[in-house]
Amino acid sequence: PESGLILALLCWTAGEVAAYPPWDFSWGDPASRGARADPHTWSWVEDPQSQAVSSQQPVMVQCQEAQLVVTVHRDLFGTGRLVNAADLTLGPAACKHSSLNPAHNTVTFTAGLHECGSIVQITPDSLIYRTLLNYDPSPASNPVIIRSNPAVIPIECHYPRRENVSSNAIRPTWAPFSSTLSAEERLVFSLRLMNEDWSAERPFTGFQLGDVLNIQAEVGTESHVPLRLFVDSCVAALSPSTDSSPHYTIIDFNGCLVDGRSDDTSSAFITPRPREDMLRFRIDVFRFAGDARNLIYITCHLKVTPADQAPDPLNKACSFNKARNTWAPVEGTRDICSCCETGNCESPALSRRLNPLERWPGRRFRRHDANGKEAEADVVLGPVLLSRDPGAVGEWQEGGHG
């Protein structure tokens, strides 16, 4: 969390473990979840230290100021069969457990909020840290047979950005006017996964092939001059790392939604924009072949221009219109999208074609405008989890934390 903020702690473990197949990680309403007697239900624990980890609550999470502590009961499925502690890892980086408790058959992971490949989502009100508890069973003593399947359990920690819940007195500090002004003008780029009518965020779980991801890109301008947001590139991969393989390009060529060019997709930008500093697009759900975990991360490069600057081939949002067999912009003239077909939308100085991942040499890439303010950033969305159970479609309820 940012320096100077004393953050409230919310822990959310989501999903439901059932006999596999299927795995359904749908997120329900917290009130109804507390009323259920299902022994395999993951629950929202306000005071994790006050409750012992048991087969009824096999995963406990403590969201602390700078780290999270995940305690897992080895009877993960409530069947009486204990999983191997070495088969449990935390996050895309597959961090190993920090301690074992043989007396209680528990495994504990302790990791910093930014460690083990966790993802942070910034919203106007919250910082949301997302990670995964992975169960990848080792081969049985007889390699011919398999006794269990892998599992992925999503974990979240929510921290309010603005509230102060400390019992200590707040000590006022002096800051020069120039630094205060700079903080007010700072841009906050974000990606959100939205529900069907775009009215609220939705969970990252329970998707099926054939569903649609509603993605909302946004920049918090605060006291900044009016800006227009663009999604320059988007790449999907199996991890949040920008150099992972395999990967799949969704948006390329400075704002061309190339995924919509395929015959079997309806992916497109939503027009008109709700606001100049917001851009929405939909993509058809997919998964990577051979991925047993059924998850994807989406990394997008976002940038802004002055709102009064006309869109051009380097700053645009173009979708492919299959009915007319042509590219169409969200705003601006159609000619700015003509380079989407040729794949050469860059200026002559940058005409050398690069793989989208090669354009982002670092994990967090930012470029500054003429006034020194951050004008571009790459943001990670995920992990988006797919369910293998066709009957699980529509089972998640709005009201769960997204």
Q: What is the pLDDT along the chain (402 residues), one digit of tens a residue?
A: 433 333 333 344 333 333 333 333 333 333 333 333 332 333 333 333 333 344 458 899 999 999 999 999 999 888 888 999 999 999 999 999 999 999 999 999 999 999 999 999 888 788 999 999 999 988 766 666 667 778 889 999 999 876 544 444 444 444 443 333 344 457 889 999 999 999 999 999 889 999 999 999 999 876 667 899 999 999 999 988 767 789 999 999 999 999 999 988 999 999 999 999 999 999 999 999 988 888 999 999 999 999 999 999 999 999 999 999 999 999 999 999 999 999 888 765 443 333 444 443 333 334 444 444 458 999 999 899 987 654 433 333 223 332
Nearest-CA neighbor of 190 among 278, 91, 316? 278
Q: Across the strands, what pairs with 70?
A: 61, 109
Q: And the tokens for 57? A: 């609550």
The encoded tokens of residue 352 equal 């050398």
3-class secondary structure, 85: helix
Q: Cα–Cα distance between 33 and 130 in angstroms, integer?
A: 20
Residue 388: how many CA atoms within 13 Å on its side-chain side? 14
Residues 6 or more apart in contact with residue 247 via CB below 8 angstroms:
235, 236, 237, 357
Contacts of 105 (CB under 8 A, 6+ apart): 73, 74, 75, 82
Domains and CATH numbers, the chain: 59-140+148-160 (2.60.40.3210), 187-346+375-386 (2.60.40.4100)
Q: Which two tokens stand for residue 256?
A: 């061309």
pLDDT of residue 240: 87
Residue 113 tokens read as: 């909020």
Residue 14 contacts residue 33 (beta carbons within 8 Å): no
Instruction: Identify the pLDDT of residue 260.
Output: 95
pTM of the prediction? 0.69
The pair phi, psi for residue 334, each rounded to 5°, is: -65, -25
Residue 297: name the closest of 120, 124, 149 by CA: 120
Q: Which residues contact 76 (CB under 8 A, 6 or more apart)?
A: 17, 58, 59, 83, 135, 151
d(CA 334, CA 22): 46
Interacting residues of 322 by C-beta distance below 8 A, sequence separation 6+: 263
Look at residue 61 in the predicted model and tell me its pLDDT. 93
Q: What is the pLDDT of residue 173?
A: 42
List, in order, residues 6 or more apart from 103 with CB less than 8 Å away: none
What is the Cβ-side half-sphere exposure of residue 159, based on CA atoms within 13 angstroms?
23
> How much is the pLDDT for 73?
93
Order of all β-strands in the sheet with 374-385: 247-251, 227-237, 295-306, 374-385, 366-368
Helix runs in 116-221, H state only: 177-184
**What is the chain's alpha carbon radius of gyration, rounded to the nearest angstrom?**
23
Residues linked to residue 248 through DSSP beta bridges, in sequence order: 236
